[in-house]
Structure 1
Amino acid sequence: MIDFAQNIIDVALTLGSFIVIISIVVFVHEMGHYLVGRWCGIHAEVFSLGFGKIIWSRTDKRGMRWQLAAVPLGGYVRFLGDADAASATQDKAATLGPDAARSFPAASTWRRALTIAAGPAANMVLAVAIYTGVIMVQGVAVDEPRVGEVLAMPYETGLQVDDVFTSVEGTPVSSFAEVFDVVSDQELTGMINVTVLRDGRARELEIPPLVPAMVAFVHPESPAKEAGLEPGDVVLAVNGTPVNSFTAMKDLIVASGSTPITLNIWRNGADVTTTLTARPVEQLRADGTVTNDVVIGISMVGSYFDVASRTPGIFEALGIGATTVKNQISFTITAIRAIIRGALSPKNLSGPVGIAQATGDVARQGLPSLIQWTAALSAGIGFVNLLPIPILDGGHLVLLAVEAVRRRKPSERAQQIVMSIGLFFVLFMFIFVTYNDIMRLL
């Protein structure tokens, strides 16, 4: 009975968090279309959050109907002159009526282009704004290698808050980048000799490897998730062999291949033992290469201490936020290229089911993680909508570009054919990624 109740709670958390997050992202996207369209003099008739049966609606003084629909997996703004939610066909009666000048088809090419591009742009702005806010709250690392909070560990680290690294294994350092570079260059895997400034005095310390075998994030649909690993867990031993770093743990896991392994874990002061089997997973690198690594599905923490931080200025935070979105989009493009050239399997693509499950898992990590996940989803949805696929915003922009070059609109028949192809492709991809999600759950 307890397990059943917990399952119900887990499903409710997953669905609830997914609906809330996706509704926020879709609302911002459609609001971008609506506000810029209104600024361009184009009248909007319907603003819908969701599809299907209408469960609430209200018409404002401008004559636009705001509505909530039963299926919370998207939304749309229908402008005057649109015969459908995707602007794939035109309502000829509206383009000939008394308000024809305010219809979408009657607007100039650049006004229609701005209105269409505003949706994805709004998603990007939301992502940058969220990342900027997170950076303002969390701060950025100070220039010197000063230790911030020291995480609770099952062993003594020797470090204290405000310790400043001055040397690692006799090599002078002036930043944390140099600290980690020395550790990497010298391939230090055991205890590390360092010098720190503490209360104005130099102290010689022997500290553990900087990157512990500590779990930062448990990936959905992974062996670690199935085995019950949690963020904050510290792996003490793999198959009875003690480990003192993430690298040591990873080496033993990779060596295990597809045979079951036993992990001894320290969790909030308690000892936990679990068994799991690692499995090969395609891993996409930033340079576009793909490796087939044996993994259990966890991400590591940067170190067992936080870097001392400062509050950045708004423009610095904005720059970091924009760079974060840029890097996310660049990685997505790299993934698409890898799939196209056959280096990465399309089975790695996820659809609504996979995204919902991931959202639930992130929600269990806490509100800060969920807020950043919202930014990632917003940037991702904005980018996908810019792909040059008919029916999506990017496809509409391509048609408008063709119109601008030819100085006349494509024929209605040509537009219908192109939109039908785009609709077929989108439906095919939806079925494909949903199939991927279901197969991963089985």
Structure 2
Amino acid sequence: MIENISGFVGSAFGYLIPFLLVLTVVIFIHELGHFLVARWAGVRVLVFSIGFGPELLGRTDRHGTRWRIAAIPLGGYVRFLGDANAASGTDHEAIEQMSDRARSETFAAASLPRRAAIVAAGPFANFILAVALFAGIFAFVGRPVTDARIDTVQEGSPAATAGFQPGDIILSINGDAISSFAELQRVVSSNADRALGVTVQRSDGQVQLNVTPERREVEDGFGNKMNIGVLGITRSFEDGDIQRVYAGPVEAVKLGMGETWFVVTRTLDYIGGLFSGRESTDQLSGPIRIAQVSGQAATVGAAALIQLMAVLSVSIGLLNLFPIPMLDGGHLVFYAIEAVRGRPLSERIQEYGMRIGVALVLMLMIVATSNDIAHLWSL
């Protein structure tokens, strides 16, 4: 019994520490984006907080900003002069009692373009972080590249039905060049139940094949299950088929941007699939699952953990751009309406919007956490 408890505690800490490291860096960069642009725009920042709730550690800098680490590490915020709360609601009563100089340093007094820039800077900073992390992996860790050569074709699989043969080298899919087996897997896994036009190289020349990846539940080396598209083929491991490629600085940044864009498009495609019924909500993950994956990535190595950090940074940046009141994207929608109308929406309408936003975010958290619990229960 004692050994079981000790093992559980050790496993929990093994997940918790990498999770906190990943989440803290991503949140810090997000809030730093808001902070830096606010300072540039002349808005005074009162609080820069990593986490919510009671303060654990903190210090006040010479500009009067309180930098703090709070007890609940699932988020963060930057509070500006004139804000009523961490959600950047305006404290009109407090602003009216300020001097003209202090009032000019409030978020509410900033011009519309500057307010929009401050809000957009958080997600933008997350995308920059992701590009930098991906670029660092491509430059310093490199990537194993395996020729997209087929070794075996499973009987009765989509590949067999379409006419793929051992020894085929896949050149392109839907007209886009394929340079490695990993790239092939990425395209196929994200196109379940969608017809693909594939060009392959055979000894007798190029052949055009049409195949529809089958949606199948697969399990990774850690027991995590995912619903992805598969063809039913395995790669070739002949001498010379595998090599590690390192990118130069410019190429690494380009690859980092491409990787970031892939995460964005894959996420948007999944969300579109939720509305069309093509995808299931059981793939949504919350903090428990993210903590588990963080711990698993840490056991693989620093590169895997950094890659997870980059993916999470993209996800948080993109999520915050959704047009949901309470999120950065919701604020940007309000500002867009203000730009068209020439005046902001009434406080009452914005308050109702915030309530709807809170309800939507809570629903999302409930679904994701339920999936996390169901996943743990199945282990």
Q: What is the CA-CA distance between 1:287 and the residue it aligns to? A: 6.8
The superposition leaves residues 89-112 of structure 1 with CA deviations (integer Å, 9 ceiling, x where unpaired) of 434313551200010011001000
Counterpart AA for 1:135: F
Which consecutive residues of structure 2, in runs of 5 or more, have no partner in the other structure? 154-158, 169-179, 195-212, 227-232
Whole-angstrom distance in 2 between the partners of 1:129 and 1:43: 29
Q: Which residue is 1:365 aligned to? A: 300
Q: Which residue is 2:28 aligned to? A: 27
Q: Select 1:384's aligned residue among 311, 319, 342.
A: 319
- What secondary structure sits across from 1:387 in the alignment? coil
The share of aligned pairs that are identical, in percent, is 40
Kindly indicate whether residue 112 of structure 2 is the aligned counterpart of residue 109 of structure 1.
Answer: yes
Structure 2-normalised TM-score? 0.77
Q: What is the CA-CA distance between 1:5 and the residue it aligns to? A: 3.2
Q: Which residue is 1:13 aligned to? A: 14
Summarize the Cα distance change of 1:321–1:409 in structure 2 as closer, same or farther, 3 Å threshold. same
Kindly indicate whether residue 277 of structure 2 is the aligned counterpart of residue 342 of structure 1.
Answer: yes
Root mean square deviation, CA, Å:
3.2
Q: What is the CA-CA distance between 1:186 and the residue it aligns to? A: 7.8
CA contact (8 A) 2:127 2:314 kept: yes
Count of matched residue pairs: 323
Whole-angstrom distance in 2 between the partners of 1:186 and 1:341: 30
Whole-angstrom distance in 1 between the partners of 2:93 and 2:151: 66
Summarize the Cα distance change of 1:418–1:313 in structure 2 as closer, same or farther, 3 Å threshold. same
Q: Which residue is 2:84 aligned to? A: 83
Structure 1-normalised TM-score? 0.66
Q: Which residue is 2:174 aligned to? A: none
Whole-angstrom distance in 1 between the partners of 2:107 and 2:235: 51
Q: Which residue is 1:322 aligned to? A: 257
Counterpart AA for 2:345: P
The superposition leaves residues 382-430 of structure 1 with CA deviations (integer Å, 9 ceiling, x where unpaired) of 1101100000000000000000111111111111111111111111221
Q: Which residue is 2:218 aligned to? A: 295
Whole-angstrom distance in 2 between the partners of 1:391 and 1:418: 8
Work out which of the two has the higher radius of gyration on C-alpha atoms and give 1 or 2.
Answer: 1
Whole-angstrom distance in 2 between the partners of 1:328 and 1:395: 22
Whole-angstrom distance in 1 between the partners of 2:14 and 2:111: 46
Q: Which residue is 1:69 aligned to? A: 70
Q: Which residue is 1:205 aligned to? A: none
Whole-angstrom distance in 2 between the partners of 1:60 and 1:303: 58
Summarize the Cα distance change of 1:133–1:413 in structure 2 as closer, same or farther, 3 Å threshold. same
Counterpart AA for 2:278: A
Which consecutive residues of structure 1, in runs of 5 or more, have no partner in the other structure? 148-175, 194-209, 217-246, 248-282
CA contact (8 A) 1:88 1:391 kept: no
CA contact (8 A) 1:95 1:103 kept: no
Q: Which residue is 2:190 aligned to? A: 285
Counterpart AA for 2:283: N
Whole-angstrom distance in 1 between the partners of 2:315 and 2:327: 14
Summarize the Cα distance change of 1:293–1:180 in structure 2 as closer, same or farther, 3 Å threshold. closer
Q: Select 2:123's aligned residue among 108, 120, 123.
A: 120
Q: Which residue is 2:54 aligned to? A: 53
Whole-angstrom distance in 1 between the partners of 2:85 and 2:292: 31
Q: What is the CA-CA distance between 1:297 and the residue it aligns to? A: 3.7
Higher helix share: 2
Whole-angstrom distance in 1 between the partners of 2:234 and 2:122: 35
Summarize the Cα distance change of 1:187–1:413 in structure 2 as closer, same or farther, 3 Å threshold. closer
The superposition leaves residues 200-254 of structure 1 with CA deviations (integer Å, 9 ceiling, x where unpaired) of xxxxxxxxxx98xxxx9xxxxxxxxxxxxxxxxxxxxxxxxxxxxxx9xxxxxxx
Summarize the Cα distance change of 1:319–1:15 in structure 2 as closer, same or farther, 3 Å threshold. same
Q: What is the CA-CA distance between 1:351 and the residue it aligns to? A: 1.1
Q: Which residue is 1:138 aligned to? A: 141
Q: Select 1:404's aligned residue among 316, 319, 339.
A: 339
